Structure 1
């Protein structure tokens, strides 16, 4: 199984990028892993929240394959402690899923098409 983290926009904070790099390197010893950044929208200051979510949603959905297990990371989701998250990942690995796709949305969340 491959684990992919998909994020809208890159960070300006070097310490965040350092953490991404560090944990990406660590994870690759245990599982196929990739961190993918979808660039921020151009002219997003001229777009409404709804327009931003719709355009980001289209970019997200272009990255999703039919066979992916899609996990949206937002305030509506479940909270996991370390053990529960580990069990969740193990269940997904055992289920035969080829790609587990975690998605970090933009500042306004996800469009209804992504949900």
Structure 2
């Protein structure tokens, strides 16, 4: 199963990029994972929240393929611990999922159409984090999940 982390927003700062590359490299022996940053047009800088969500919806749905399994990350989603994340990954692999998309929506969340398309909605925390930090946390959690599945000593329960 290939994992893609999609995130609305700007490119990462260099220290975030370095951390993400670090965890992707550690995950590589177990599974392929990549980051895709979806950047709305710069001219969109608007205070119209619904318009921003609409433009972001177009970016997401245009890239999303029917075979993608979409997990939306939202602070109101289902909270899973690291072992449950690894179990979810194992279940998706057992079901033959080709591509898992972990979506970090825009600053104002995602449109109802994107929510409806999501197969699941997960929460990293009830706290709100900056998008760049969420990307790094996701990269680490993906690695942690595969280290759990492969009995690596990285995760201590």
TM-score by length of 2: 0.68
Q: How many residues align?
A: 115
1-structure distance, mates of 2:5, 2:12: 18
- Tell me the SS of whatever aligns to 2:100: strand
Question: Match of 1:36?
Answer: 36
Q: 1:12, CA displacement in angstroms?
A: 4.8
Q: 1:47, CA displacement in angstroms?
A: 4.8
Q: What is the root-mean-square deviation of aligned Cα atoms in Å?
A: 1.5
Bigger share in helix: 2
Which residues of structure 2 form unaligned runs of 5+?
A: 116-157
Q: Is the 8 A contact 1:24 1:35 kept in 2?
A: no
- Tell me the SS of whatever aligns to 1:74: strand
Matched, 1:78 2:75: no
- Tell me the SS of whatever aligns to 2:85: helix
Q: Is the 8 A contact 2:46 2:52 kept in 1?
A: no
- Tell me the SS of whatever aligns to 1:97: coil
2-structure distance, mates of 1:34, 1:7: 11
